[in-house]
Amino acid sequence: MFLREVGAQHDLASILHNLGHTCLHLGDVEHAHTLFRESMEIHQALQNEPGMAECLVGFAAIALLRGLPAAGAKLLSASVTLGGQRTAAVSVWQATRMEYEHYLDLARQSLSASEFQAEQAAGRSLFLEQAVDYALNLPLEPKIGPAIEVAPDDLTRREREIAALIGQGKTNGEIASELVLSKRTIETHVSNILSKLGLSSRAQIMRWAIDHKLTQTPV
């Protein structure tokens, strides 16, 4: 990459971060994780605190899409209030703010109200070094119980479609808008998917959809 050759590390880190979010939208979570990690490491070397805080949003997204909603909620909170002090990472850049708000909504849907509030409080208490260390050491694989072996074809076409969109990190409201259905109808489909797969949370549907490659191929 040309930016590496000319030593434009700050610009390189920003581009890697943006590419990470692009990969997330394409369903390539593993590549996104690699890009966010490289971006974070560059920002660490430059001691660029706003850049590191911004990267936390990307790691929060990874956590949510990997079925770790508590970690995602904690990192989202840390990205805007490190050590109890508000950061500029989300407030300055509109694109980052949009990603932040999207994943914050997803975290709310994936946790109970009390769990969400507890993780947000925990995130606010972290200092930058703590938050970065936490993000870089998150496991890629969530510790969840095994799902019943249900093939994608065992779901209805609409259920596969909704499972794929959940795997892409979309909220019920976004899915309803995209499929031109009511939010209540989407909630009913999600409930049916959970029942058929023997799962107990939206985060587990995300993981199931990714494992079955529903996020990368037409359903």
Q: What is the pLDDT of residue 170?
A: 87
pLDDT digits (tens, 9 = 90+) for 196-207: 888 877 888 888
Q: Is-contact 36 17, C-beta < 8 A?
A: yes
Q: What is the pLDDT of residue 1?
A: 52
Q: Is-contact 87 43, C-beta < 8 A?
A: no
C-alpha 188/C-alpha 144 separation (Å) is 23
Q: By percentage, how much of the chain surpasses pLDDT 90?
A: 36
- The reply to whether domains 2-136 and 152-211 share a CATH topology is no
Tally of CB atoms within 10 A around 17: 24
Distances (CA, A) of 79 to 89, 123, 134, 154, 202: 7, 8, 12, 40, 23
- Which CATH architecture best describes the domain 2-136? Alpha Horseshoe (1.25)
112, amino acid identity: S
Q: What is the pTM of this model?
A: 0.69
Q: Which two tokens stand for residue 63?
A: 């956590």
Q: What is the pLDDT of residue 111?
A: 87
Pick the residue with more confidence: 12 or 149? Answer: 12
Contacts of 72 (CB under 8 A, 6+ apart): 60, 61, 63, 64, 103, 106, 107, 110
Topology classification of domain 152-211: Arc Repressor Mutant, subunit A (1.10.10)
Residue 143 has pLDDT above 60, yes or no: no
Q: Is-contact 77 134, C-beta < 8 A?
A: no
**What are the extents of the domains in the chain?**
2-136, 152-211
Q: Which of 30-39, 135-144, 178-187 bottoms out in mean pLDDT, i.e. has the lowest?
A: 135-144
